[in-house]
Structure 1
Amino acid sequence: MDDELSEDLWQARAVPSLTRDEARQRAQLITVDRMEVDLDLDRGAEHFGSTTRITFSCNEPGAATFLDLRPVSCERIELNGTPIDPATITDGRLPLADLRAENTVEVVATMAYSHDGQGLHRSHDPADGEDYVYGHLFLDAAPTVFACFDQPDLKAPYSVTVRAPETWVVVGNGRATRADDNLWRLSETLPLATYFVTVCAGPYVSLHDSHDGIELGIHARRSLQGELERHAPQMFEVTKQSFDHFHSTFDVRYPFGDYDQVFVPEFNAGAMENPGCVTFRDQMLFRGAATREQVLQRSNTISHEMAHMWFGDLVTMRWWDDLWLNESFAEFMAYTATSTATEFTDSWVEFGIARKQWGYAAERAPSTHPVAGSPAPDAHSALENFDGISYAKGASVLRQLVAHVGKDAFDAGVTAYLRSHAHGNGELAEFLAAMEQASGRDLGDWSRAWLETAGVDVLAVDRDGTLTRTTPSQYPADRVHTLDVAGFTDGAQVFRTDVVLEGPSAQVGLDAAAAVVVPNAGDLTWAQVDLDETTRGNLARELPMIEDPVARGVLWGAVLTGTYRGTVDPRFALDVAAEAWAGESDDALLSRVALALTDRIVPTFLAEGEVTPARARLAEAAAGVLDRVEPGSARALVAARVLAATTTDETVLRGWLDGRDLPVGLDGDTDFRWLVVHALARLGLADDALIEAAEASDRTLTGRLGGLTARAARPGTPDKEWAWRELTTNRDRSNYELNALATGFWSSGSVETLRPYAARYVDDIPHLAQWVGADALDRVAALAFPSRVVEPETVELVRAAMARPDVTAGVRRSMGDELSKLEEALASRARWA
């Protein structure tokens, strides 16, 4: 992309965001009856043609509204046969005046492919020299692909045609049929919100199956055909199991025809729930060995996106305030499905240690917000609430709702809500009304406490059986917790008590002699946990012996969240991990605890002089696991990865790089080889020749990113300067390349070397908004944050930057969230120094 085109894209994106009030006014004025979209993808690598015909009605003839449109150029616009000057497009809006009762608007335009994962993204695969295209129209990128009324409550059927190069195939929301002259026609859809429309095109390879009358397809880049064929049987199985579960639970059939799942390159999110054509990041087609947790995560994502076919697609939130009606439900329904309908009966363990930890971090940040009704005055502000609260907390709150009203009433309420709002839109009040009707209970107080008030309570139990609930003072709420308390000695459960905590404290029956007492042992409620002194003293010895993986997850989580909150010394967390981690039998707990220690606790909560010996202790623990567990098992794979990330043994790393003495199952594993390259780079042991040799053996998108991360990870001053310049000034870098550079940059180097980049971060990163879309830039702003410079001066720099008017709302949110983590590390250092 040259600078001129970058400027075009900047102009197309630098537009005011649609406000809630504007959306409400437009929805009251018009109804969109049908969308016809013709895309010409056979015009080269930079631009594509877009022709849109929209039929819509207006209930106030003579009134005016506007169309959303962000083209590179516009060749023709007609409203009811009357030409409109394209020069009237201002800030991405085309005024439409003197509307009739029935209207047709036609727009012929030239659009630009994106390289940041938004709009119609085009990616070049160096493995086969082919280009691949996919549409990601979330959150407000649809006007960069076709003219539209871009808001979630103006749904309409779509009729789409796509002209593509001869060797390409096309997949979209409707079944694609190839006609003459490389033209593909997609069957007309049911009513869709604009941000759910997608087209995937390129020389994709495909596998097909069917289930319960639904045609299934899974697609990927041609260079990933081997991985697709290896993983497809398991993915088809989970897809079928999820369909059966949701059909039974919702008692509403999947309505959108075929069900295609497309694994696409350089995808910003994990996946996107486009009706009938779900898109996934293609790293989920694991190239090498995969742990059970990784396959679980992919399976859960498959189930999550399918749950959206009902919550989000069939019934769409009226405005972004009710984002939770999409994401909280998909999160909850997915884990329910995987735990009951698939082999992953323990999926809630991964939810507790991965997703809930993400959500608790969001609750501790200054940007915390309620699950439901979180203000979204415009579309851009809504993007900030796609976080651990809308997903993990929302799912946890729904678990509490099931406990509160009963599963039968909950399922009946869900079915009634879906049927009464099918192909339309819904909001919090309407969902609650359906639940109240089904359960016969007033849910007003429950909703205000759990859905409409931010904050997370802290639960603790002392040895006299007093269970306490501490509510955050800035977000007072009387949340009723349904939970259990359990005790263990020598790994055996000695008691478990069910509790409904309706006030700030309650007495529970327990065995005070239990070595370990676990509040919320079943992880049923949303609350951080403080452990009593006796439990902390016995924890390292007892943890590996406890058979219940959910209770172990709660205990591990209490150690991690306690460290972040400053109530647990990070050295205690390290001690527990050094003694107990090697005995952990669940690979999700094993990998997530190690990730928390290696990526955050050790490098930021410990003083610089303590980091190297701490990493050595983790490396020793990982080596011990490798020596003891079954070779080639998931636990062995986790341990090998942790060892590669923490060891300073050059002999071991170079041997692995050359294929010598590799752990079982990692021969020829290119992704593990990149972990080794990155480890050598962080130690200053990867010269240009070594990295170039690694790239030469992996001429793929992943290999290209691996090389960038390795170069940025080298600790020398010239390497850091090169990496920062590439990150902040090279406009040709894709969204994934920016992520790779940012990830590598902060993974090594002394604080002295890195300190100047704290000031450069606040100056340079906001500037990227000139050519990087908001969704991609928010991620870059988080990854590039100077988290290793744990100093008060960094806090001052970032706070000053957040007050500047040139910093976008999304970047400000990313800065603020990362700053809260840095302040947690500073507070911990001050308390436990």
Structure 2
Amino acid sequence: MPGTNLTRAEAAERAALIDVRHYAVELDLTVSETEFASTTVVTFSSREAGASTFADLVDGRDVRAWLNGTELDAAAYADQRLALDGLEADNELRVTARLPYSRTGEGLHRFVDPADGRVYLYTQFEVPDARRVYTTFEQPDLKATFTFTVDAPAGWTVISNAATPEPTEVRSGVERWSFAETKRMSTYITALVAGEYDVVTDAYKGDYEEIPLAILVRRSLREFLDADEILEVTKQGFAFFEDAFAMGYPFGKYDQAFVPEYNMGAMENAGAVTFRDEYIFRSRQTHAAYESRANTILHEMAHMWFGDLVTMKWWDDLWLNESFAEWASHYAEAKATRYTGVWTGFTNQRKNWAYRQDQLPSTHPIAADNYDLHAVEANFDGITYAKGASTLKQLVAWVGEEDFLAGLRAYFTKYAYGNTELADLLAELEEASGRDLHAWAQEWLQTSGVNTLRPAFQVDADGRFTAFAVEQTAAADYPTLRRHRIAIGLYDRTADGLVRRHRVETDITGASTPIPELLGETQPDLVLLNDDDLTYAKIRLDDRSLETLRSSIATIDSSLARALCWGSSWDMLRDAEVGARTFVEIVLAGVGTESDLTAVQSLLRQGLSAVTQYAAPQHRDALASRWETGLRRLLTDAVPGSDHQLALTRGYAAAARSDDAVAMLRGLLDGSLVLDGLTVDTDLRWTLVTALARTGAYGDAEIDAELERDRTIAGQEHAAGARAIRPDADAKAAAWDAVVVRDDLPNETQRSIATSFQVGGQAEVLAPYVARYLETAETVIEKGVWRASTILESMFPRANPSAETLATVDAWLATADIDPTTRRYVSEGRADLARALAAQERDAQG
């Protein structure tokens, strides 16, 4: 039985049969606190008289349906589908139903703010969840126009894809919002946001039509809304994209709603974008947080053209949708906003995400084989986003920036409000640039895995290169050796730091590529392959270069060059080519002065992972002490009030183990210890409380006291995570029950608990949960993809790697009868275990 799944073949068969014209959707949000009423009238045509198809509706109650005026038998609605037989050339389907509000972030999510009791609703439909709110033909290539009519309590704010109308009273305390007809769009980008939101309005006036702008936020967060900053980035984005694409924004108005308990970072609903409301910062944040938020704003805006105006035919091209927005947001941010160093952040964070994903057993081509919806939902990953964006960045360089933009302009014009496949985009780019992209697409889009580039050279008695080549390798299971355009930088120690003396740009092909331009050059202190980050590949450092970084990485004047060195060191640690102690020394040598705050945050997490997961057991205590004391020194030396001071405080809290560190955290919380320039505000207090709970120094009483200070939903989520992170058997049992057994907690609270469950150094209390995890994994998919993925990924027993756990997981994988999604997540966890154990062996060697 299909349930909530849909195959690509079924979608193709349905699209070949019908064309959908219009949906008229009526929603009554005043029915109860658990359900709403949904009425859908959809008009569509059929190419074959008498044929059969089906419509989609999930979890409908009291469902009644009429096809061309004839009521269907109740049995027609089964297994989340509505069977439609005897189609005519032109058809009208009318369906009424009661549907449940969601607490999982899928469909129509309902939230009551504990700060003030106000009610907030929003929809989240990607990939296939519009069918949880109205009856649909749920696939991206069956576009239609929409009219939404919404009954809601008087005084609410209600927005959808079309401009917001003035409501009319329909009965006491209830008003009706009758939205105008939309442009043609896919079901997954339709949207509804409703509730007691505060609204800030403005407008963008550019070279095309004026665009009304609005920001929606919960009233309890209104005091923290920095609307001017958000609107500035929004207007900069519209100015940039309308010029770059030579096309005005296609959907009239532009609302940005910051919503609670959101599963994703944001969603590109046409004209009604939704964001996690954690992007409304209650406490002081580093520059990296604002840079990240600006990037997300621009990512969703880019989708208005690429994804919403022109949409993929099927989810095989999901990568193109997301990779384009990922590339375009960084491209726009670097050129149009004050966040000009965003490509460094991309290298430090997003590409590392891609490299990790590409080395897991679940790796797949960028153009993945998304044969059904379950496969789609599992492939929202670092390959889909960051590897794809990296290859698009290469493609821009390959065809030329102006020709690339010219191809995009032709593409948007030709396929506006329609659906396409990758070949359609490549055809326009080939026409604009004159280049054949077939081989490029095969090499980069249709193969899996990441290449590794390594310098191989010889020097004479005078220290000059007598031979120099770049060696390329690939994983045995994914042996493709690709063409790469790279730069090679030679860096020398000088009075001004590590300075690039010489740069060569060249093409790399095959297993070994000689670099004759470097013959006769003096061996530098640092050889940096892929300087300027021109390609997507892991790079290796020779022994001398690695030793240089241990003391001098901070002196490299280019943040992008440092990013490449950070990334290479991390890759070498994870690939068991560098010991954990060496990596920690490199981090401590440079993190205190690293200018890219994205890198600082990543390095602090990576350093802790080196200690807890990659260090040999016999070295772990000493390395933990070195990490803790090293961060304490950097924190003490940090400029008062600086971003580094805040980031290092967070990093030190995560590293705290000793009595001295615990005493310092207590002092910061109770005010007996003051660091000049450091404000211990709400979010930082929770960081400190959670750290103390992790050490066992804080229990329920202290967490309850902190929760009394912050009775918001964020406070409740922080408190739930702090309880779960304690090294206590009862705390772990309660956390397990909350996430795995109970179903009454909202999605974000469960996620906070799940991500706090597995903690390094808590092997004894977590030991029983290896078997319990595997037992749960056998049926967890029945809880739905979002909840199952949280359990499978976050609660996998990876925090305390052991050969025994690896053997147990291997035995289970060899015999378990499980669905592909579950096997993917467990296999990924297994790969992390094996990698950690190999790294520990390397660290044991010295």
- Name the SS for the 2:470 alignment partner: strand
CA contact (8 A) 2:483 2:508 kept: yes
Amino acid at match of 1:390: T
- Name the SS for the 2:743 alignment partner: coil
Corresponding residue for residue 507 of structure 1: 515
> 1:214 & 1:808 partners in 2: Cα distance?
46
- Name the SS for the 1:509 alignment partner: helix
Which deviations, in whole Å up to 9, do the C-alpha atoms of 1:544-568 show, x marking residues without a partner? 0011000000000001111112222
The counterpart of 1:792, out of the listed 789, 803, 814, is 803
CA contact (8 A) 1:466 1:506 kept: yes
The counterpart of 2:190, out of the listed 197, 207, 219, is 197
Corresponding residue for residue 659 of structure 1: 671
Greater displacement, 100-109 / 739-748 = 739-748
The counterpart of 2:695, out of the listed 676, 680, 683, is 683
CA contact (8 A) 2:770 2:805 kept: yes
Greater displacement, 378-387 / 504-513 = 504-513
> 1:179 & 1:622 partners in 2: Cα distance?
60
> 2:162 & 2:815 partners in 1: Cα distance?
45
- 1:365 deviates by 0.3
> 2:508 & 2:3 partners in 1: Cα distance?
49
Alpha-carbon spacing, 1:222–1:454, altered in 2? closer, same or farther (3 Å): same
Corresponding residue for residue 82 of structure 1: 70
> 1:97 & 1:172 partners in 2: Cα distance?
32
The counterpart of 2:742, out of the listed 705, 730, 736, is 730
The counterpart of 1:324, out of the listed 310, 313, 319, is 319
Corresponding residue for residue 501 of structure 2: 494
Give the RMSD, CA atoms, in angstroms: 1.8
Alpha-carbon spacing, 1:609–1:72, altered in 2? closer, same or farther (3 Å): farther
TM-score by length of 1: 0.95
- Name the SS for the 2:592 alignment partner: helix
Which deviations, in whole Å up to 9, do the C-alpha atoms of 1:272-291 show, x marking residues without a partner? 11110111111111110111
Greater displacement, 797-806 / 68-77 = 797-806
Amino acid at match of 2:733: E
- Name the SS for the 1:107 alignment partner: strand
- 1:609 deviates by 5.3
Corresponding residue for residue 488 of structure 2: 485
Amino acid at match of 1:206: V
Say whether 1:106 aligns with 2:108.
no
Corresponding residue for residue 8 of structure 1: none
Alpha-carbon spacing, 1:262–1:117, altered in 2? closer, same or farther (3 Å): same
The counterpart of 1:227, out of the listed 206, 211, 224, is 224
- Kindly indicate whether structure 1 or structure 2 has the higher relative contact order, using CA contacts under 8 Å at least 6 residues apart: 1
Say whether 1:347 aligns with 2:342.
yes
Greater displacement, 281-290 / 653-662 = 653-662
Say whether 1:814 aligns with 2:811.
no
> 1:452 & 1:825 partners in 2: Cα distance?
29
Alpha-carbon spacing, 1:185–1:797, altered in 2? closer, same or farther (3 Å): farther
Corresponding residue for residue 240 of structure 1: 235
- 1:208 deviates by 1.1
CA contact (8 A) 2:364 2:447 kept: yes
- Name the SS for the 2:284 alignment partner: coil
CA contact (8 A) 1:581 1:621 kept: no
> 1:261 & 1:574 partners in 2: Cα distance?
41
> 1:830 & 1:559 partners in 2: Cα distance?
17
- 1:435 deviates by 1.4
Which deviations, in whole Å up to 9, do the C-alpha atoms of 1:257-299 show, x marking residues without a partner? 1111111111111111111011111111111011111110110
> 1:822 & 1:805 partners in 2: Cα distance?
19
Say whether 1:124 aligns with 2:121.
no
The counterpart of 1:115, out of the listed 103, 106, 126, is 103
Alpha-carbon spacing, 1:643–1:41, altered in 2? closer, same or farther (3 Å): same
- 1:508 deviates by 5.2
Alpha-carbon spacing, 1:79–1:173, altered in 2? closer, same or farther (3 Å): same
Give the alignment of 1:359-370 within 5 angstroms: 359-370=354-365
Amino acid at match of 1:776: R
Corresponding residue for residue 305 of structure 2: 310
- Name the SS for the 2:25 alignment partner: strand
The counterpart of 2:765, out of the listed 744, 753, 757, is 753
Corresponding residue for residue 4 of structure 1: none
Corresponding residue for residue 173 of structure 1: 161
Greater displacement, 575-584 / 238-247 = 575-584
- Name the SS for the 1:453 alignment partner: coil
Alpha-carbon spacing, 1:769–1:659, altered in 2? closer, same or farther (3 Å): farther
Corresponding residue for residue 270 of structure 2: 275
> 1:800 & 1:277 partners in 2: Cα distance?
48
> 1:186 & 1:615 partners in 2: Cα distance?
59
> 1:789 & 1:291 partners in 2: Cα distance?
31
Amino acid at match of 1:794: T
Alpha-carbon spacing, 1:285–1:294, altered in 2? closer, same or farther (3 Å): same
- 1:66 deviates by 0.6
Corresponding residue for residue 93 of structure 1: 81
Corresponding residue for residue 214 of structure 2: 217
Alpha-carbon spacing, 1:807–1:283, altered in 2? closer, same or farther (3 Å): farther
CA contact (8 A) 2:592 2:638 kept: no
CA contact (8 A) 2:216 2:257 kept: yes
Amino acid at match of 2:808: L
CA contact (8 A) 2:76 2:84 kept: no
CA contact (8 A) 1:516 1:542 kept: no
Which deviations, in whole Å up to 9, do the C-alpha atoms of 1:361-408 show, x marking residues without a partner? 111001111112x11111111111111011111111011111211112
CA contact (8 A) 1:461 1:467 kept: yes
TM-score by length of 2: 0.94
Greater displacement, 464-473 / 274-283 = 464-473
Amino acid at match of 1:830: E
Unaligned runs of 5+ in 1: 1-12
Amino acid at match of 1:434: E
- Name the SS for the 1:323 alignment partner: helix
Alpha-carbon spacing, 1:45–1:665, altered in 2? closer, same or farther (3 Å): farther
Which deviations, in whole Å up to 9, do the C-alpha atoms of 1:305-332 show, x marking residues without a partner? 1111111111111111111220110000
Which deviations, in whole Å up to 9, do the C-alpha atoms of 1:428-453 show, x marking residues without a partner? 11111111111112111111111111
> 2:730 & 2:557 partners in 1: Cα distance?
51
Give the alignment of 1:628-639 within 5 angstroms: 628-639=637-648
Greater displacement, 449-458 / 510-519 = 510-519
- Name the SS for the 2:756 alignment partner: helix
> 2:646 & 2:406 partners in 1: Cα distance?
43
> 1:666 & 1:804 partners in 2: Cα distance?
54
Amino acid at match of 1:713: I
Amino acid at match of 2:26: D
> 2:125 & 2:218 partners in 1: Cα distance?
20
- 1:410 deviates by 1.1
- 1:797 deviates by 3.5
Corresponding residue for residue 582 of structure 1: 592
CA contact (8 A) 1:582 1:621 kept: no
Alpha-carbon spacing, 1:146–1:799, altered in 2? closer, same or farther (3 Å): farther
Unaligned runs of 5+ in 2: 458-464
- 1:216 deviates by 0.8
The counterpart of 1:626, out of the listed 609, 625, 635, is 635
> 1:561 & 1:829 partners in 2: Cα distance?
14
> 1:769 & 1:733 partners in 2: Cα distance?
18
Greater displacement, 562-571 / 100-109 = 562-571
CA contact (8 A) 1:209 1:216 kept: yes
Which deviations, in whole Å up to 9, do the C-alpha atoms of 1:779-827 show, x marking residues without a partner? 3321111112312332343345556776443333222222211111012
Amino acid at match of 1:636: Q
> 2:164 & 2:620 partners in 1: Cα distance?
55
Greater displacement, 627-636 / 505-514 = 505-514
- Number of residue equivalences: 816
State the identity as a percent: 40
Which deviations, in whole Å up to 9, do the C-alpha atoms of 1:231-280 show, x marking residues without a partner? 21111111111111111211122101111111111111111111101111
The counterpart of 2:180, out of the listed 187, 190, 194, is 187
- 1:630 deviates by 2.3
Give the alignment of 1:151-550 within 5 angstroms: 151-177=139-165, 178-181=167-170, 182-212=175-205, 213-228=210-225, 231-372=226-367, 374-463=368-457, 464=465, 465-490=468-493, 491-504=498-511, 505-507=513-515, 509-510=517-518, 511-550=521-560
